[in-house]
A = this chain, B = another copy of it.
Amino acid sequence: MAAATERKPALGKLESLGAKMVGEVERGDSPTFDTALRSKSNILYDEAIGCLRLGPNTESRTFVNVAQAKKFMQTVAVASRCKKFLEEDAHASIRGLFYQLKYSLGEEFDEELFSEQEESNPLIEDLEVALKLKREDLNLNTDRKGVVAGSMVLMDKFGGEKTEIDCAKQGRSGWMVPSDVDNGMDFVSVDADWVLVVEKDALWQRLNEDKFWKKENCILVTPKGQASRGCRRLIRKLANRKLPVIVFTDNDAWGWYIYWAIKTGSINLAYLANDIATPEARFIGMTMQDLKDYDFLNKLTIKAKDVDVKRAEEMLAYPWIARHKEWVVELKAVIKSRRKIEQDALQGQRLSFVGEYLREKMGKKKFLP
């Protein structure tokens, strides 16, 4: 293990949580753990910031309650183990954490503390919410996915070493977005003007080969489908630097979901709210309007699946989507025609047309909100 560098704020928060519980015990009270309720009933869309977040309802867990004692103990075990990871400057996956805790009651107890990972996962979320931090701050790794190219240099302080990552010098591969883009990861420079998020890796490769990011001075990101936590967080951090974020997906259930998850966050990650959501994001395509503007696309549409139509109908029922008349027009057009267009179809005439399409729509600011 590398020597710990600066002291992480998460360590202080975990110690305060422990000290509070010790105080409760010393005063003869039952130790308690309070966290925000993460059930659907407590998830709301925050008009002011434009993202999904948790409401005011909280949940309290106490040791001296037969129904809550085990879960309380498990929560403390998760917190304690994460503290150990932070002190050792070592990271674990949530599956690794589960295996560490499964028999952590000690040799004298031949009993499992956790039987399944489904027991430990929600407790990690509880801690994230209660301590107002992300699991990445607790040295827990998450699935990583997504690739970046552009005029951006990062300093990756990892395992006691510093590595400069120049996202303009990554060749055909690009820089792979890691799990944690906050701790030990600093922007050295960002010389781009905006961020383009492209749903599919195939299109990212097309635009990377065309040097689109260099010609248009953007940061070219593909989440490779649904954006990972690390990828959403990176997009949020770039938006914090006032870079406009433009999202480019298929016009179908999956593409819309990718966009709205980046923009407003998602139900599952509502507890991270604006740490991970980018309400400033705009949608460049594909849209049904493209069929009017680019005639050749009409021959290249494909049948919308039932899931696409169902999703469009659901979206029309969300007030934060339905208030945008552009989205209402778009979604109704898909429902009516039952056709959709993939971003790959833009290559139908010539491969380089993808870039031409994006340039034209950027120039005319043809975005959906």
Residues of B within 8 A of A141 (CB): 202, 205
Complex-state Cα separation, A173 to B166, whole angstroms: 13
A347 CB to closest chain B CB (Å) equals 4
Q: Say yes or no: B147 contacts A351, CB within 8 Å.
A: no
Residue in contact with A352 in the complex, picked from B1, B103, B352, CB distance below 8 Å: B1
Q: Which chain B residue shows the least CB distance to A296?
A: B103
Q: Which chain B residue shows the least CB distance to A103?
A: B299
Q: Say yes or no: A156 contacts B171, CB within 8 Å.
A: yes
Chain A residues touching B, range: 35 or more
A148 CB to closest chain B CB (Å) equals 10
Binding site of A, secondary structure by majority: helix, strand, loop or mixed?
A: mixed
Residue in contact with A351 in the complex, picked from B92, B176, B351, CB distance below 8 Å: B92
Q: Say yes or no: A206 contacts B96, CB within 8 Å.
A: yes
Judge if A178 is at the interface, Cβ distance under 8 Å: yes
Q: Which chain B residue shows the least CB distance to A110?
A: B299
Residue in contact with A345 in the complex, picked from B99, B156, B177, CB distance below 8 Å: B99
A170-209 interface code vs B (CB 8 A; 1 in, 0 out): 1111111111100001000000000000000110011011
Complex-state Cα separation, A318 to B210, whole angstroms: 47
Q: Say yes or no: A165 contacts B173, CB within 8 Å.
A: yes
A sample of 29 cross-chain residue pairs with beta-carbon separation below 8 angstroms, ordered by A number, consists of: A1-B210, A90-B351, A90-B352, A91-B205, A91-B206, A91-B209, A92-B206, A92-B351, A95-B342, A95-B344, A96-B347, A96-B351, A99-B344, A99-B347, A100-B347, A102-B299, A103-B300, A143-B201, A156-B173, A158-B209, A163-B169, A165-B170, A165-B171, A172-B178, A172-B180, A173-B176, A173-B178, A174-B176, A176-B176
Interface residues, chain A, CB within 8 Å of chain B? 1, 85, 88, 90-93, 95-96, 99-100, 102-103, 141, 143-144, 147, 156, 158-159, 161, 163, 165, 169-180, 185, 201-202, 205-206, 208-211, 299-300, 342, 344-345, 347-349, 351-352
